[in-house]
């Protein structure tokens, strides 16, 4: 796992110690064992840290927290809520796009790959960075939470960030965030099962850009082209 990933130096400067801790060694051993059993793991091993490689620490403006990667074939590529360009747009992402459109009616979405958001400073982070094929949340207890909690804390401590916490699991992470020095936006999960309980109409995409403007930072273009 370690040999196939090169995180930007700015991430290594704040997270480098995490890779030497026992929990990370346990994750590495677990994944190696699962792969030796011919189990299929998503995203591909070389994309596990794609959220961090796509959005360097010194470029992070917004953190969108998901739970774990998509568990279907060809979907996950290391960014929360995002799928490879060739895949159909999943239901939760469709609702995310609907909410963007409510805030920015001229937005366009050609596919479900959110790499353009990541490149602009939107850290698309899942709490668990891997999952077994067709088994949602199957890796939620292997130790990833220690690593991704460290990511959240680092972003919070640097201040002036927007945290989008959607659903119970994400909202539990508020305890890791300094809400005085960051904007914390909470809502229901965009899943069709819960989107109408507060996600639809939350205006998070508009509020995030308004906050960035107040901080003299460039706004996010939410188009997906």
Q: DSSP states of 78-136 as a string? A: SSTT---TTSPPPHHHHHHHHHHHHH-TT--BSSS-THHHHHTTEEEEESSS-EETTBT
DSSP 8-state assignment for residue 4: G
Both structure tokens of 63 = 């953190």
Determine whether 46 is an active site residue. no
Q: Nearest to residue 123, comparing CAs of 91, 78, 173? A: 78
Q: Nearest to residue 224, comparing CAs of 119, 115, 73, 125? A: 115
Terminus-to-terminus CA distance in the chain, angstroms? 31
Both structure tokens of 21 = 């801790």
> Which residue intervals of the chain are DSSP H helices?
9-15, 22-36, 50-54, 91-103, 115-119, 144-158, 168-171, 204-214
Cβ contact 190:92 at 8 Å: yes
Q: Single out the catalytic residue among 9, 17, 46, 68.
A: 68
The catalytic residue positions are: 68
């Amino acid at each position: 796992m370690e040999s196939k990933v090169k995180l930007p130096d700015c991430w290594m400067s704040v997270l480098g110690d995490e890779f030497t801790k026992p929990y990370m060694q346990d994750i590495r051993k677990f994944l190696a064992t699962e792969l030796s059993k011919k189990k299929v793991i998503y995203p591909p091993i070389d994309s596990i840290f794609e959220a961090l490689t796509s959005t360097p620490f010194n470029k992070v403006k917004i953190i969108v927290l998901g739970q774990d990667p998509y568990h279907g074939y060809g979907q996950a590529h290391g960014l929360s809520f995002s799928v490879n360009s060739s895949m159909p747009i999943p239901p939760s992402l469709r609702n995310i796009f609907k909410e963007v459109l409510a805030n920015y009616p001229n937005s366009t979405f050609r596919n479900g790959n959110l790499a353009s958001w990541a490149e602009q400073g939107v850290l698309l982070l899942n709490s668990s960075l891997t999952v077994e094929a067709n088994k949602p949340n199957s890796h939620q207890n292997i130790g990833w939470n220690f690593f991704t909690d460290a990511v959240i804390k680092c972003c919070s401590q640097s201040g002036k960030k927007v945290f989008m916490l959607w659903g119970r699991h994400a909202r539990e992470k508020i305890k890791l965030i300094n809400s005085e020095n960051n904007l914390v936006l909470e809502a229901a999960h965009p899943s069709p099962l819960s989107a109408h309980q507060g996600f639809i109409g939350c205006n998070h995409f508009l509020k995030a850009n308004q906050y960035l403007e107040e901080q003299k930072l460039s706004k996010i273009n939410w188009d997906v082209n």
